[in-house]
Amino acid sequence: MKQPQRMMAKIVSELAMTHALLNCLIKEFALPEKKLRHNWPEELKGLQPESCLNGIRLKALPILIELSPKRELFVLVDRYNSLGSQRYLSDVYVKHKGSPWAILEFEALAKFILEGCVVSTGSFNLELFEQVLSSQQLVSDILSHQEDTQQNATFSNYITSEQSLWFGHPSHPAPKARMWPDVIAQQDVTPEFQASAFLHCFEVPIQGLQTQSNSITQSDILNAVAPQGSLQSYTQKQPQSEEDYALISMHPVQAQLFMQDDRVKSLLQQNIIRDKGQTGFYAQPTASIRTWYIDNSDYFIKGSLNVRITNCVRKNAWYELESAMAVDHLLNQLVMSSPNAFKDVIIAREPATLSWSPLDANEEDQRWFREQTGIILRENFCKKQPTEAFLLAATAFARDNHLQPMIWKLLGSDASNEARLAWFSRYQQALLPPILNLFFDHGIVTEPHLQNTVFTHEKGVPKQILLRDFEGVKLTDDLGCHYLDTHFEETIHPTVKASLIYSREKGWKRIAYCLFVNNLSEAILALSWDRPHLADAMWAGVEETLVSVLQSLSQPAPELKALLQTGEIACKCNLKVRLAAQADKQADYVPLTAPWCQEVTYA
């Protein structure tokens, strides 16, 4: 790769990761703690004249943030937004008390911001700082790869949209941080590098298999997981003899980690299980990294990956394997019984799971094996409509390798105001009603963040919303829990039931954050990128849809009424939870204000 291109990848990656840190800082600290002012600094020494002149020319707006009594941060933006969603128009300036303003290198700037948060959190998290740096380095590598391969088909089909999320979560301090093992290079198996790979297979005694299904046979499950025809000892006779084996598959990295464990080494040495190498289906990883798309298969394969990616280790916990079956059953029943309420939404079913463990293992080891080998089959929605019709929302509203909105590749940067407003209106009207109906009328808490949201389109115009990944689906303790009492009380494990239940308050905070802060605000920012005045009309349309939804609900919706009256929206603290070195599930929320309740200023 030419040196200028490598330098550009570094510059763009540092800008993108700086903006992600600023987004976290503004949403989680500056806005809720009222440490953000909309004015130029009193002391201008150190500010570059070019920045000031460019700001005046662009009619840019100043943001001045007090990180601590001795630290300030200054940047120019294109709008004032009460959810902290804005386009950055200048370098970031920092100031220690008594010193002039300065522009820092990325590493020093990241440290300045994280150290400034110590006043609120009480401690500096060195591990997070290292993750911020590693995230930036991976993004730089990803951008270098894009320049080398000249990938430019982001929206040509579904899987290219899954594999074009260069920067990750726009409001996460280290969106591409991964504790990646040395066993296989990321370039060979991760989506951002447009990887494809054969899944790793093992022959296992069929007696240790545990399959669960709402609609398909064990034979169909096995054939969806791995090419059983290549296994001579596989038989479908009932009952199976002790000699019967089945083929299961794993993420190639997971397989290498699996074989490093002494328990697995012993089984391999005894020929109880057999390593068949990467002889499974040829597959492409989706944005989640551990879920694989197999062309022409009826199912995606969501397998365990015992690697920490951003905040979480991505394995299928044993209770998640079982809860997926409960959620799949409930959602399928609801969609079948209330088709009008869900006419604009497609729910990707997860109709079966598979795992394996040795029969003679103790309970702890059996659970360990189940979690390492666990697979959830997800319906391949691309079998019902052309793959070109589906796009990942997270990519649509993200930036390209020049930090311009990806959506321009779909709409065109010269799309009229009317076209952009109509596009967003169709999108939000497809998204909001089914999500809110599930919560208020049925007590079902979905997780409609951008990476869980896929939309279908016709010539670029949204038609339907598709929701996938039941891992985040919960049931409220006042309404949704009754589905378990009605359908599963005799068979569902207490741990599985407990993992599914959310308080109503917690459920509403999650939904509000996902819908308004994570999803719609990013859609609006992308669509109004060079025309910030359009954001007002888009948010007004959201408010109108919420009023319409409120009138259509059959159950009380006090949270929705309060949202319309006060505008308070919960924002998840992705930075604060990492500063505290806590698990993602421990993340708190801070209150922000809906844009329709606050006057918006724009450049």
pLDDT digits (tens, 9 = 90+) for 435-461: 999 999 999 999 999 999 999 999 899
Does the structure show a pLDDT above 70 at 526?
A: yes
For the segment 220-267, what is each residue's pLDDT rounded down to a tens digit?
999 999 999 866 554 444 434 445 999 999 999 999 999 999 999 999
Q: What is the pLDDT of residue 275?
A: 97
- 63 in the same domain as 14: yes
- 471 in the same domain as 401: yes
Does the structure show a pLDDT above 60 at 277?
A: yes
> Cα separation of 496 and 338, whole Å?
26
Q: What is the pLDDT of residue 491?
A: 74
Look up the domain containing 484 and give its range: 180-572
Q: Nearest to residue 186, comparing CAs of 225, 262, 134?
A: 134
Looking at the chain, the whole-number percentage of residues with pLDDT higher than 90 is 82
Q: What is the pLDDT of residue 515?
A: 98
- 270 in the same domain as 217: yes
- 240 in the same domain as 361: yes
- 285 in the same domain as 411: yes
The reply to whether 328 falls in a domain is yes
For the segment 44-94, what is each residue's pLDDT rounded down to a tens digit?
999 988 887 888 888 899 999 999 999 999 999 999 999 999 999 999 999
Q: What is the pLDDT of residue 340?
A: 77
The reply to whether 155 falls in a domain is no
Q: What is the pLDDT of residue 242?
A: 43
Query: What pTM was estimated for this model as a whole?
Result: 0.95
Q: How many CA within 13 A on the CB side of residue 351? A: 18
CB 470 within 8 A of CB 324: yes
- 118 in the same domain as 223: no
Does the structure show a pLDDT above 90 at 493?
A: no
Does the structure show a pLDDT above 50 at 179?
A: yes
Does the structure show a pLDDT above 50 at 363?
A: yes
At residue 467's C-alpha, the angle toward residues 287 and 195, to 5°, is 15
Cα-Cα-Cα-Cα dihedral sign, residues 422, 288, 578, 504? positive
The reply to whether 587 falls in a domain is no
- 400 in the same domain as 539: yes
The reply to whether 201 falls in a domain is yes
Q: What is the pLDDT of residue 485?
A: 79
562-595 burial: b if 16+ Cβ within 10 Å, else e = ebbeebebbbbbbbbbbbbeeeeeebebbebbbb
- 252 in the same domain as 189: yes
CB 412 within 8 A of CB 420: no
pLDDT band at residue 34 under the 50/70/90 scheme: very high
The reply to whether 513 falls in a domain is yes
> Cα separation of 202 and 373, whole Å?
10
Q: How many CA within 13 A on the CB side of residue 7? A: 3
The reply to whether 91 falls in a domain is yes
Per the structure, the count of domains in the chain is: 2
Going from the C-alpha of 72 to that of each of 35, 64, 280, 459, the distances in angstroms are 10, 7, 54, 47
**End-of-domain residue from the set 140, 161, 191:** 140
pLDDT band at residue 311 under the 50/70/90 scheme: confident
Q: What is the pLDDT of residue 49?
A: 87
The reply to whether 172 falls in a domain is no
Does the structure show a pLDDT above 50 at 570?
A: yes
Name the more confident of 584 and 569.
569
Please count the other Cβ atoms lying within 10 Å of the Cβ belonging to residue 27.
Answer: 23
- 233 in the same domain as 101: no
Q: What is the pLDDT of residue 239?
A: 38
- 219 in the same domain as 114: no
Q: What is the mean pLDDT of the chain?
A: 93
Q: What is the pLDDT of residue 600?
A: 60
- 407 in the same domain as 284: yes
CATH number of the domain to which 14 belongs = 2.30.30.1240
For the segment 98-118, what is each residue's pLDDT rounded down to a tens digit?
999 999 999 999 999 999 998
Name the more confident of 6 and 132.
132
Q: What is the pLDDT of residue 240?
A: 44
The reply to whether 441 falls in a domain is yes
- 338 in the same domain as 237: yes
Please count the other Cβ atoms lying within 10 Å of the Cβ belonging to residue 413.
Answer: 11
Q: What is the pLDDT of residue 603?
A: 61
